[in-house]
Amino acid sequence: MKQEIKACDSILELIGQTPLVRLKQLTAGYSGEFFAKLEAFNPGHSSKDRIAHYIIEQAEASGLLKPGSTIIETTSGNTGFSLAMVSIVKGYDCILAVSSKSSKDKIDMLRSMGAKVYVCPAHVSADDPRSYYQVAKRLHQETEGSIYINQYFNKFNIEAHYRTTGPEIWEQTAGQITHLVACSGTGGTISGTARFLKEQNPNIRILGVDAYGSVLKKFHETRELDRDEIYPYRIEGLGKNLIPDATDFDTIDRFIKVTDEESAHMARKLGRTEGIFSGYTSGAAMQAVHQLQEEGEFDENSKVVVIFPDHGSRYMSKIYSDHWMEEQGFYDSKHVGETQQVEV
């Protein structure tokens, strides 16, 4: 009898079911047990594969998308890459309006997946016609048969994580999770995952990570958007200068802010201690864990899951470049591995 060929039907079948890995060295001496959910194991190397796939399949199911339709989005890179990947496999065109803060690597990657990319200035307000929101809106109006994903205001963003990330973590921890630490950008990851987990056990603590220069933490505390909180920062994908609909603030117990510098060093330290080569926001999430440990958030019974949203390879010209670190004033030789030049 012929043996069956063991192959996925397409790359899209590999989305989700990402591994959970116990952290040891970096959290040595901390109270409790710590686990990283490695979203870089998605085929597009980030958590955004989940929402790209889910939102597009919802649009197909409701008849919004037809063969040859165009998918439009604003993105810091990861969502764009995932949308481009899903679009290629499913036969759609993909147009992406990105912030000039995105790394060159990310922009080149989007183009390599067949997407058309518009690079827009990062430090203009959301209602400025040059902002990536306004550029995407205009392209949507001008392109017949297009859909605008609008991840910050799309309820399917939360739902994707409610249906996948939440159940996976619950199952992987055998229901023993006590704390979730997750970065908040659109808020889809933390809100959807939290909603599922709190339905299983309302005592699970949901801890959101925000950037200095973002309004999320203050809004969570006051329910008012304080424009004085807004100023430029370097971490991509974390924090916001507006209040996204895709964030369910009621599911989050508290936010904690982290600096660009400490997050960059923490991401580098993850590689050197755990062998996990991760993105800038994974460093931010671990920096938040460090601060929470110092504050006494955890005890010996804590089982803490930390979401690592993407892979380090996306940041070669940023946090993994000594030159970039030096330019930011972040460089510290005791924090990096060594290079020995061998004479030729």
Residues identified as active-site: 48
Closer residue to ligand PMP in complex, CB, 78/131: 78
Contact 281, 183 (CB under 8 A): yes
Question: How far, CA to CA in Å, does 160 sit from each of 167, 189, 192, 195, 286?
Answer: 11, 8, 7, 11, 24
Residue 249 C-beta: closest distance to ligand PMP, Å: 12
Contact 185, 236 (CB under 8 A): no
Q: How many residues in the chain?
A: 344
Residue 83 C-beta: closest distance to ligand PMP, Å: 12
User: 164, 149, 174, 225: which is closest to 195 by C-alpha?
Assistant: 164
Closer residue to ligand PMP in complex, CB, 213/279: 279
Residue 54 C-beta: closest distance to ligand PMP, Å: 12
Closer residue to ligand PMP in complex, CB, 44/185: 185
Instruction: Write out the residues near ligand PMP by the rule CB under 6 A.
Output: 76, 78, 183-190, 237-238, 279, 281, 309-310
Kindly list the strands in the beta sheet with 146-148, ordered across the sheet, starting from the edge strand earlier in the chain: 116-120, 93-99, 70-75, 146-148
Closer residue to ligand PMP in complex, CB, 69/184: 184
Q: Which residues, including other chains, have CB under 8 Å from residue 118's CB and lie 6 or more apart?
A: 95, 96, 97, 98, 132, 135, 139
Closer residue to ligand PMP in complex, CB, 33/238: 238
Question: How far, CA to CA in Å, does 114 sit from each of 85, 88, 111, 256?
Answer: 8, 7, 5, 37
Q: Which residues, including other chains, have CB under 8 Å from residue 206's CB and lie 6 or more apart?
A: 179, 180, 182, 190, 194, 197, 198, 251, 252, 253
Residue 189 C-beta: closest distance to ligand PMP, Å: 3
Question: How far, CA to CA in Å, does 219 sit from each of 52, 122, 126, 242, 258?
Answer: 27, 22, 17, 10, 16
Contact 238, 183 (CB under 8 A): yes
Closer residue to ligand PMP in complex, CB, 32/212: 212
Residue 238 C-beta: closest distance to ligand PMP, Å: 5
Give the nearest residue (CB) to ligand PMP: 237
Residue 267 C-beta: closest distance to ligand PMP, Å: 11
